[in-house]
């Protein structure tokens, strides 16, 4: 975890607090690193409902890192944001046919119940979730892993 924080801190110094590079370049870094976060449903020990989302938003990463410092039972933040069809740009979206677009989501501790669900419910009706609901929030999902990826 300390190595993750150090890597992200170096990125923040190079790119500023926004986590975005002006003009597409951060000095010697052509593209900013990003973090993938893995979310698991509370009570699902099998991992069958796990999903991932990616961000290079430093504030979202800081919230996620703070959650990871807590015991799983004390974590309260969950993901909220629009979803799109396909597995996205991620190397592995755990075989779901939907994804959270990079940097278009956030972490919250409260949301409208209409967007609440789990990965399988979304998978069964991707068009409905994308076109009608417009966003997905999984109040029962908690961050269980953070991985920083250097391009």
Per-residue pLDDT tens digits for 53-107 = 989 888 998 999 999 999 999 999 999 999 999 877 665 566 789 999 988 999 9
Task: Write down the pTM of the prediction.
Answer: 0.75
CA 10 to chain centre: 20
- Is pLDDT above 90 for 149? no
User: Domain for residue 140, yes or no?
Assistant: yes
- Cβ(64)–Cβ(37) below 8 Å: yes
User: Domain for residue 117, yes or no?
Assistant: yes
Please give the pLDDT value at position 125: 96
- Is pLDDT above 80 for 123? yes
Domains of the chain: total: 1
User: Domain for residue 87, yes or no?
Assistant: yes
User: Domain for residue 26, yes or no?
Assistant: no
The angle subtended at Cα 36 by Cα 35 and Cα 38, nearest 5°, is 140
Residue with tokens 């509370």, as numbered in its chain: 42
User: Domain for residue 144, yes or no?
Assistant: yes
Q: Tell me the C-alpha to C-alpha distance, in Å, between residue 10 and each of 17, 54, 71.
A: 11, 19, 27
Mean of pLDDT over the chain: 79
Please give the pLDDT value at position 89: 65
Print the domain residue range for 9: 2-21+31-149
């Amino acid at each position: 975890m300390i190595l993750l924080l150090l890597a992200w801190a170096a990125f923040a110094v190079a790119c500023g607090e926004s986590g975005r590079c002006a003009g597409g370049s951060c000095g010697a870094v052509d593209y900013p690193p990003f973090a993938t976060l893995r979310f698991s449903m509370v009570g699902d020990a099998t991992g069958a409902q796990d999903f991932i989302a990616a961000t290079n938003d430093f504030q979202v990463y800081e919230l996620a890192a703070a959650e990871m410092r807590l015991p799983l039972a004390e974590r309260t933040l969950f993901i909220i944001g629009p979803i799109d069809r396909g597995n996205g740009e991620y190397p592995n979206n755990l075989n779901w046919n939907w994804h959270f677009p990079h940097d278009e989501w956030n972490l919250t501790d409260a949301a409208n119940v209409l967007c609440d669900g789990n990965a399988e419910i979304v998978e069964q009706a991707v068009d409905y979730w994308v076109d009608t609901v417009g966003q997905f929030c999984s109040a029962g999902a908690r961050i269980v892993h953070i991985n920083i990826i250097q391009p």
